Structure 1
Amino acid sequence: MTDGHPGDMTRERMAELLSWASDGKLTVEEILSAECTLPALGVDSLTYIRLIDAIDDEYGVDVDMGGNAAHLDTVDGLVRHVAEARSRAGRPPDVHRTTTERPRTPEEMT
Structure 2
Amino acid sequence: MSAGPQQIREGVIRLIISSHEGDISVSDIEAHGGVLEAVNYTSLSYIRLLDAIENEFGAYLDADEGAEALGTVDGIVAAVLSELGSDAA
Relative to the length of structure 1, the TM-score reads 0.66
The correspondence for 2:79, drawn from 64, 81, 89, is 81
Q: Which amino acid aligns with 2:82?
A: E
Q: Of 17, 20, 25, which residue of structure 2 is paired with 1:19? A: 17
* Larger relative helix fraction: 2
* Match in the other structure for 2:33: 35
Deviation at 1:33, TM superposition (A): 3.7
- In structure 1, runs of 5+ residues without a counterpart are 1-5, 94-110
Matched, 1:65 2:63: yes
The answer to whether the Cα contact below 8 Å between 1:38 and 1:74 also exists between their aligned partners in 2 is yes
Residues in 2 aligned to 1:15 and 1:55: alpha-carbon distance in whole angstroms: 11
Deviations 1:40-84 (A, max 9, x none): 221000110110010000011111111431221100100000000
Structure number with larger C-alpha Rg: 1
User: 8 Å contact 1:12–1:32 — kept in the other structure?
Assistant: no
Alpha-carbon distance change, 24 to 12 in structure 1, aligned in 2, over 3 angstroms:
farther
1:92 shift after superposition: 9.0
Q: Is the 8 A contact 1:37 1:74 kept in 2?
A: yes
Aligned residues: 85
Pairwise CA RMSD of aligned residues? Answer: 2.2
TM-score by length of 2: 0.80
Identity in percent: 33
Higher RCO (CA 8 Å, separation ≥ 6 residues) = 2
Cα drift, residue 24 of structure 1 = 5.0
